[in-house]
Structure 1
Amino acid sequence: MIRSQDAPVNDRVVVHAENVNAGGNVIPVGYVPRPKEFKFESFKRCGAKDFYGNLDAVGCMEWLEDIEVVFASCNCPEDKKVLSASRMLKEGTRDWWRGTTVSMTPAVRSALTWDHFKEKFMEEYIGTREKRLLEKEFRALKADVGGMAEYARSFMSKIKFVEHLVPNEEDKVAAYVDGIPASYRGICRQHATLAGAIKESKKLVDDFKTEKATVKANDDKKSGSKRKYDGSSGSSGKFKKRSSSTGVSNNYAKPKN
């Protein structure tokens, strides 16, 4: 228990220690700090980049991804995401967004979600041909036993471009498992999350490598023992041959009567 020292003795308030902050100041029971108001300047300070519309399909997707990272870094509220991102549009891209929203009422514009912005953005700056190429590359991803880590990295780098193909976690797991060796699919498919399936596939590869190394070590050990045995037999044969050449017999002659 801690007593506040800022009031007369009779009026001092008894508070619990957990209601005192690091600076020693008393915090009233039930006090809830007011959340800081979001400001666009903080959004820019967190690394938001301008968009001029001169990037290829992958570059455009990476810009969207970078913006989402900034959202998380500066605690951007949902109702401020579209406005914040649209303020990063420059030159012709700003004109495109203005033309997209000009027929909307203020209420509709303020209710636009980040997913809606992304959908319109991709329609404009990532054409149908580029989308199909990205989808084709994603579907063609395959892993061999030795390249599981590389496959996982490629899968994660491309999945962000084809989220419409794998809208939920179950679809992501299925797509990932389809690209790994058949002997691993059954176990990995049991996982409910993509992260779990990826972790399991890497573990299986590690187990396979460990087992393979153990088998090789045992084979080398057996081969070494065999060579040692053969070497011993060879030296005995040479000894016998040398003994014969000197005319010395290992057998005693039968005595004559």
Structure 2
Amino acid sequence: MNQGPVRACTYKDFSNARPRTFNGTGGVIALKQWIEKTESVFEICDCPEESKVKFAACTFIDQALSWWNGHVEAMTLPIANAMPWEELKEMMIAEYYPRGEVQKLEQELWNLTVQNSDIDANISRFNELSFLCPGMITSEGNKVERFIRGLTPPIQGNVKASKPETYDNAKRLGKKLYDHRDKKSTKTNEGESKQKGGNKKKWGNK
């Protein structure tokens, strides 16, 4: 059955999804929250790429609006609105995130490894740092490589040997292997505790 053409996302659709405003203050956390919320609204509205920057710019207020108007004046509005969404994100990170702070996070990403087998904490921080340091994650393959490097042996070798093509694949396999090792370790510890308890009873019966 022909249902006719799909209606394109409008600004009304975008605004009805209640996007977050951005005023240019609050540091990297505020910027990260704004980008995540905006991309969530894009997904909900099925927003086309050519409308993303135009709609997102409507959420700017105060300092951020003045910053954007400066770019519009230099570029002209049609060219500014035609900018790819990824390019706008990079511009905003460069503007609202001091280079010195970026360098600290890049160093943290470079040295990030799984601590105490807590793969969930590692994945969470890796996701944050990957977002905040786009210069270090230039491709999907690069992202996979960075993630695997932070895993501990022998899991690191196992994940690398599987040659995952995407970060999601590497992440799922890494989590599966860590979870399996934790369960195996728990069972081993329980078995040792039972054995020790049995030995104490034998000595007590003598």
Query: Scaled by the length of structure 1, what TM-score is found?
Result: 0.70
Looking at structure 1, the residues matched to 105 and 93 of structure 2 have their Cα atoms a distance apart, in angstroms, of 13
Answering whether residue 101 of structure 2 is matched by residue 130 of structure 1, we say yes
Between structure 1 and structure 2, the one with the greater Rg is: 1
Answering whether residue 132 of structure 2 is matched by residue 161 of structure 1, we say yes
Amino acid at match of 1:151: N
- Counterpart of 1:194 (choices 167, 182, 199) is 167
Cross-structure match for 1:210: 183
> Deviation per CA, 1:69-111, whole angstroms, max 9, x where unpaired?
1111111111111111111111232222121122335553343
Cross-structure match for 1:239: none
Cross-structure match for 1:151: 122
Amino acid at match of 1:192: E
- Structure number with higher helix proportion: 2
Q: 1:229 to 1:108 in 2, by over 3 A?
A: closer
Amino acid at match of 2:18: G
Cross-structure match for 1:100: 71
Q: CA deviation at 1:32?
A: 4.6
- Counterpart of 1:118 (choices 86, 89, 98) is 89
Amino acid at match of 2:92: F
Q: CA deviation at 1:218?
A: 3.9
Stretch of structure 1 that moved more, 98-107 or 41-50: 98-107
Q: CA RMSD in A?
A: 2.3
Q: CA deviation at 1:126?
A: 1.6
Q: CA deviation at 1:172?
A: 1.4
Q: 1:219 to 1:158 in 2, by over 3 A?
A: same
Looking at structure 1, the residues matched to 165 and 152 of structure 2 have their Cα atoms a distance apart, in angstroms, of 19
Q: CA deviation at 1:168?
A: 1.7
SS in 1 for 2:132: coil
Q: CA deviation at 1:186?
A: 0.8
Q: CA deviation at 1:228?
A: 4.9
SS in 2 for 1:146: coil
Looking at structure 1, the residues matched to 121 and 52 of structure 2 have their Cα atoms a distance apart, in angstroms, of 34
Answering whether residue 50 of structure 2 is matched by residue 87 of structure 1, we say no
SS in 2 for 1:35: coil
5+ residue gaps, structure 1: 1-18, 20-30, 235-257
Q: 1:112 to 1:183 in 2, by over 3 A?
A: same
Q: 1:144 to 1:176 in 2, by over 3 A?
A: same
Whether the 8 Å contact between 1:138 and 1:159 is mirrored in structure 2 is: yes
Amino acid at match of 1:200: L
**Percent of residue pairs bearing the same amino acid type:** 23
SS in 2 for 1:103: helix
5+ residue gaps, structure 2: none
Amino acid at match of 1:212: S
Q: CA deviation at 1:231?
A: 4.7
